[in-house]
Chain A
């Protein structure tokens, strides 16, 4: 229960707290002490130097799925397959209603009606994302995520040459924005967030053809490349927070095992949401196995780069 509350608190923007010594299990405390010894630290450094870069298996799989899902929407319309009709905001999958949870929320708040079809769509979509972990949507489906990853590659190259500098933001800002857009939809009666949602804009542009709205998406991408690494997805997007909440109790988790972990932070360097990996910092793990928090997008980047395979996907059953 405590871990759950903390997962939600971190999702909403809290910095993961350091564990007190009493929180840490005796066995894990031993491991921490062992890892802190100078001799072991040297050994770890040597071992790390020998590590070869590993293939980016999960990224490849994920990009394939992301492109396939979006392509399915496009082809369903243009080849008239009618498998998935609509866009990511709302669709029918072989006739079954599907609705983006955040878009449906905006509509119901603005319209001040509980729309039955939307409710059906929200429930089916929520069940799927609950099972996989809500933010799985972000890294496995959202078309802006793919653009963001490409932008991130450019950002990191520029940053390595000291041409750009990463600026971080307070993560609580996303919670403020989420609340603001929810209240604004209810008060004004317009789905205000949809105006600036790169997910909706991109999904519609792919399916129905490009428009001027893409200028906004490009502006967000430029902001991420030149000013703040993955800024939109990390600090702003309310859809991310919505799905984070949907998947708080997800049975599928990325699990960190402290046994082999070198605490070298390769995972935190590639992670979209490094705060969920706080447990990989030296001395932070409380138990042998730690589930990553609700903000995790299950993107698998950490699995791809971890030199010791200390991170893995686990299907653990609800809770």
Chain B
């Protein structure tokens, strides 16, 4: 090789194809790293906080342990679980529950999503529904609560077009039924208590009929009750009181006839537990 051409190939001018390729590669690497780091923003800033399926580890651990395969989605009998989209950044593909659309009512009894999870992001330490702590219910809009206003419910809780399903064990032990097909006729609305999976289990146990015949399924603590608050225009009024047994499954938020729901899931209270 003559020294002239050797010199030229070593020159670092912008027209040198090798140099241009190097710069292109740097830009590609930088761009992809940048794009992936943007994905950290929603999870680090907490924009991607969502109600997770039962047994989910504390949010930061959950996000690192989840392999985003959706096996929990596939086994859920009430199809409560969805996978997060790209708005959740690095949380893309992680399972979450929109309780207002479809809450987890533990229809499966055996915590199928927990059993399906291959990584333990939904921890296998959980054996029974009452051990879950997904969130805590809070009465966020007391002024909308029918019980607080002394009002009742007639007809389906969420209207004729609501697509959600729940287990009505007294009608069908095995198959969840559409909520819209279930007509209520209540003088005072107590749906958040009446439909609470924990409260239902407690009454089944008190009647000597624990779920799946297993006394271990009996929740040790009540989750919610109605407290009388007096009278309003000749009608008795109550306020829902959330108790320590609440697992944050979201059924009360789902069934609440008020629009928007008077009772909602408070995620922050559920942080750091199963």
Contacts and interface: CB of A to CB of B under 8 A. Distances in A.
Interface string B16-41: 00000110110011001101110110
B33 A180 contact: yes
B68 A89 contact: yes
B188 interface: no
B80 to A, nearest CB: 14
A188 B65 contact: no
Given A181-B36, A194-B93, A87 B120 contact: no
A85 B93 contact: no
A189 B64 contact: yes
Nearest to A189: B64
Contacts of B22: 170
Nearest to A211: B85
Contacts, number: 149
A286 interface: no
A261 interface: no
Interface in B94-130: 116, 118-120
Interface stretch (B69-77, B223-231, B263-271): B69-77
B43 interface: yes
Contacts of B21: 168-170
A146 B176 CA distance: 40
Nearest to A110: B64
A1 B24 CA distance: 34
Given A92-B71, A99-B118, A213-B85, A107 B92 contact: no
B63 interface: yes
A15 to B, nearest CB: 12
Interface in B33-87: 33, 35-37, 39-40, 43, 60-61, 63-71, 73-75, 82-83, 85-87
Contacts of A207: 70
Interface string A49-79: 0000000000000000000000000000100
Contact of A190 (B33, B35, B63, B70): B63
B173 to A, nearest CB: 21
A192 B64 CA distance: 9
Contacts of A191: 63-64, 66-68, 90
A216 B119 CA distance: 26
A118 interface: yes
B89 interface: yes
Contacts of A100: 67
B67 A107 contact: yes
A115 B89 CA distance: 24
Given A89-B67, A204-B93, A235-B28, A188 B83 contact: no
Interface in A111-154: 111-113, 115, 117-118, 121
A92 B118 CA distance: 9
A104 B68 CA distance: 10
Interface string B163-187: 0000000000000000000000000
Contacts of A196: 32, 35-36, 39
B86 A212 contact: yes
Contacts of A167: 24
B118 A121 contact: yes
A235 B26 CA distance: 12
B86 A216 contact: yes
Contacts of B36: 181, 184, 192-193, 195-196
A170 B27 CA distance: 11
A313 interface: no
Contacts of B120: 113, 115, 117
Given A87-B70, A211-B86, A212-B85, A177 B32 contact: yes
A315 interface: no
A103 interface: yes
A92 to B, nearest CB: 7
Contact of A169 (B25, B93, B119): B25
A200 B74 contact: no
A39 interface: no
B211 to A, nearest CB: 24
B56 to A, nearest CB: 13
A234 to B, nearest CB: 11
B25 to A, nearest CB: 4
Given A107-B119, A173-B29, A216-B86, A195 B92 contact: yes
Contacts of A5: none
Given A97-B118, A189-B60, A190-B90, 8 more contacts: A89-B69, A90-B118, A91-B69, A169-B25, A170-B21, A190-B40, A194-B93, A235-B25
19 contacts: A87-B68, A87-B70, A89-B67, A89-B93, A92-B118, A107-B64, A110-B64, A117-B118, A121-B118, A173-B25, A177-B29, A184-B36, A185-B64, A189-B60, A195-B35, A195-B90, A200-B68, A211-B83, A212-B87
Interface of B: 21-22, 24-25, 28-29, 32-33, 35-37, 39-40, 43, 60-61, 63-71, 73-75, 82-83, 85-87, 89-90, 92-93, 116, 118-120
